[in-house]
Amino acid sequence: MFFNDKGSGTNIARHLNRNHKNGLWMRCSAIHCSEREGVKDMSSATAAIPSKRWSRIIPVALLMYTIAFIDRNNVSFAFSGMEKDLGFGATISGLVAGIFFIGYMFLQIPGGHIAARRSAKKFVFFTLIIWGIVAFCTGFVQNTAELLIIRFILGVCEGGVWPATLVLLSKWFPLHERARANAYWMMCIPLASIIMSPISGWILHVSNWRYLFFIEGAFPWVWAIIWWFFIDDEPAQAKWISAEEKNYILTSLEEDQVSIGTEGNTDYKSVFKSGKVWMLVLYYFLMQIGFYGFSLWLPTLVKQISHSGNVGTGLLSALPWIAALIGLYINAKHSDKTGERRKHASIPVVIGSACLLASVLLGKSQPVLSMIFVIIAEGFMYAYNGVFWAIPGGMLPRETLGGAMGLINGIGNLGGFFGPFIVGYLIQSTGGNFFSGVIFLVVCQVLAAIVIVSVKVKQNYTGSDIHAHASH
């Protein structure tokens, strides 16, 4: 299982054994032992550390944001019906998709701050209730203006959930586990797309776009109950976790903070003045242009390549997201294993961009091969995500981490406004041709790769923040 990740304990033991060869003395948890006995006992102890947090926190958070992404992106399946009933074209469709991210910006820093200083659990719970109401009401819109307004409000409602969840994970998973923890949670987006594609296609087949929003808008209310009973803000509050696992987490997190160092920069003024933080904002902005510019138009692209109906398009649109799950997992696991971040956040992006360009160049002449390149492209283009969000935690103290991640996500996700809108405009202005839109996306992705390679971040964890060699 992905979420039962016990590799961290085993590999700390490996690290201790390497230190043993250098002549370092080890301690048992209760008594002093000889050097050889200390290593042996420590190896046994670390390997036996329970991993319940992986199977409890991650799945609940994953499915929570799976629902968020469905309610955000199901509009891409409704476009064909909406354009006919409400009377707008591809440019307005891009605006409808993108205006979500204008609203999305407003609660980013507050959401991260509330999660860090108060409660991520309560913040996400109440947000689930409210965004469910707004998503459900999308089915009642009667004109373009109403649709734009409700999409903006939905963006406001969902805005703080991403940084709040990242803060929650940062309280449960030390740095040497962080890329994997982030990646397992961020499987929510490919998973949402895999689930959303056939379900949305089927709903549209048997009904219409209004019932698409009525049915999928009710999901958050159900999950809010599960979230409330399964999630705790931090290990110290959890009754279901063992004392051994709790001590391991808290000790590791404290060592992470010592390793990072604060240098007195524990207020948000230092975040806003940090060139590194703004480089991360720029990287994420460019990546979101590429991601949403591609994903929100993916069903249309697939339909153009395959000439399938709603159900067929839904099924085929799920395949790139299966590749994204695989890429996300492999890239994050290898990043945690090596402790390297920048190359893992850049090289897959460039490869994915090349595959996307190849898919459009092949176009209608070789539809099967073109579809294969679309699938491969998504597998590489999304692989960066878990690794990227491990970078801020290795740069910033916990006092400012939540707000900083909100800043990165909020401004960065404005790319989610510009990407779909510009691609929609380019498609419409070229008579439905995807080529110019894809060129724009590829340029943004390559620029993003250049930016992240330029950021000076801590690459390899040693000493107190030992990097783990994942065994799964």
Measured on CA atoms in the order 281, 283, 284, 285, is the torsion positive or negative? positive
Its sign, for the CA torsion 107, 112, 116, 121, is positive
Q: Of residues 45 and 230, which shows the higher confidence score?
A: 230
Q: Is the pTM of this model over 0.85?
A: no
- At residue 382, the 3 state secondary structure works out as coil
Q: What's the token pair of residue 53? A: 């947090």
**Each residue of 53-65: pLDDT tens digit?**
999 999 999 999 9
Angle (CA) 381 66 121, round 5°: 120
In 3-state terms, what secondary structure has residue 351?
Answer: helix
**Neighbour tally for 36: CB within 10 Å:** 10
Higher pLDDT, 6 or 410: 410
| Phi, psi angle pair for 128, to nearest 5° | -55, -45
DSSP track, 181-221: HHHHHHTHHHHHHHHHHHHHHHHHHHS-HHHHHHHHTTHHH
pLDDT value of position 33: 39
Per-residue pLDDT band for 348 (boundaries 50, 70, 90) equals very high
Distance, in Å, from the CA atom of 388 to the CA atom of 53, rounded to the nearest integer, reads: 22
Please determine, for residue 29, whether its predicted confidence score (pLDDT) is greater than 60.
no
Q: Where are the beta strands (DSSP E) in 217-373?
A: none
Q: If you compute the radius of gyration of the chain from its CA atoms, what whole number of angstroms results?
A: 23
Domains, the chain, in order of start with CATH, read: 1-49 (no CATH), 50-454 (1.20.1250.20)
Residues 56-113 have pLDDT tens digits of 999 999 999 999 999 988 898 898 899 899 998 878 888 898 899 889 989 999 999 9
